[in-house]
């Protein structure tokens, strides 16, 4: 993987572990020679990922909507590249086009939107890239339980049950993402498989 899209919160939680995790992620990716594609902001976990990757000599590509780009304290103009797009749909398409995989850290509604779109697009066959979830501090325990519930009830097909790659440790998650084997997407299934 040459570049990974990192999805995470633009908020700064009171618990300092989250910012430290984001900084560790940015630094680790840079040290491994993996570029960061992210939301283009300076705030919260997003800013911490970008700043740490840049400080470690890594490539950081920000993708930010026009509505946010005009706010100097929000848009990160220190990125290797800063792409300004018209809206959120174009932003998520750019994440997919520019990256070789997706890595989700803790975050809120926007992070969930990005994560589930990456999973959905993988199911359909719009991409065949690994979708990783870093379940640090048990943050995503309930989400992973719900994902298992969707599999168990049949709303996620067995062939797609492994799309979401979740681990509690970054190194193991990156190793599993690098070893990712694409699955059969819905677009290639026969009617009886659906």
Closest CA to 33 of 51, 59, 54: 59
Residues 107-136: tens digit of each pLDDT: 999 999 999 999 999 999 999 999 999 999
Residues 23-65: tens digit of each pLDDT: 999 999 999 999 999 999 999 999 999 999 999 999 999 999 9
Q: What pLDDT, on a 0 to 100 scale, did the predictor assign at position 36?
A: 98
With a cut of 70, say whether residue 181 has pLDDT above it: yes
C-alpha distances out from residue 60 to 72, 86, 135, Å? 18, 20, 23
Residue 76 lies in a domain: yes
Residue 18 lies in a domain: yes
Distance CA 16, CA 104 (A): 18
Residue 67 lies in a domain: yes
Q: What pLDDT, on a 0 to 100 scale, did the predictor assign at position 187?
A: 81
Q: What's the domain range around 57?
A: 3-137+147-181
The helix (run of H) or strand (run of E) holding residue 165 is strand 164-167
| Residue, of 163 and 183, whose pLDDT is higher | 163
Any idea of the CA torsion for 37, 148, 122, 155, to the nearest 10 degrees?
Answer: -140
Residues 86-103: tens digit of each pLDDT: 999 999 999 999 999 999
Residue 193 lies in a domain: no
Residue 192 lies in a domain: no
Instruction: Give the CATH number of the domain where residue 86 resides.
Output: 3.40.50.450
% of the chain residues with pLDDT over 90: 89
Rg from Cα positions in the chain: 16
C-alpha distances out from residue 194 to 121, 154, 155, Å? 16, 11, 11
Residue 56 lies in a domain: yes
Residue 82 lies in a domain: yes
Residue 119 lies in a domain: yes
% of the chain residues with pLDDT over 70: 98
Q: What is the pTM of this model?
A: 0.94
| Banded model confidence at residue 72, pLDDT cuts 50, 70, 90 | low
| Residue 183 neighbours by CB under 8 Å, 6+ apart | 122, 159, 160, 162, 163
| Banded model confidence at residue 173, pLDDT cuts 50, 70, 90 | very high
Residue appearing with tokens 């993987």: 1
Number of domain units in the chain: 1
């Amino acid at each position: 993987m040459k570049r990974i899209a990192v999805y995470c919160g633009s908020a700064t939680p009171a618990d300092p572990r989250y910012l430290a995790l984001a900084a560790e992620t940015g630094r680790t990716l840079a040290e491994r020679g993996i570029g960061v594609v992210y939301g283009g902001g300076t705030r919260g976990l997003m800013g911490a990922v970008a700043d740490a990757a840049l400080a470690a000599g890594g490539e950081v590509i920000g993708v930010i909507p026009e509505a946010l780009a005009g706010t100097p304290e929000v848009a990160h103009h220190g990125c290797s590249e800063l792409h300004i797009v018209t809206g959120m749909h174009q932003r998520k398409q750019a994440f997919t086009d520019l990256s070789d995989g997706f890595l989700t850290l803790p975050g809120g509604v926007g992070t969930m939107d990005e994560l589930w779109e990456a999973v959905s697009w993988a199911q359909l066959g719009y991409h065949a890239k690994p979708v990783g979830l870093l379940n640090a501090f048990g943050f995503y325990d309930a989400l992973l339980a719900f994902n298992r519930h969707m599999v168990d009830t049949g709303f996620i097909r067995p062939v797609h049950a492994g799309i979401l790659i979740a681990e509690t440790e970054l190194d193991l998650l990156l190793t599993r993402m690098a070893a990712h084997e694409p699955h059969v997407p819905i677009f290639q299934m026969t009617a009886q498989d659906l």
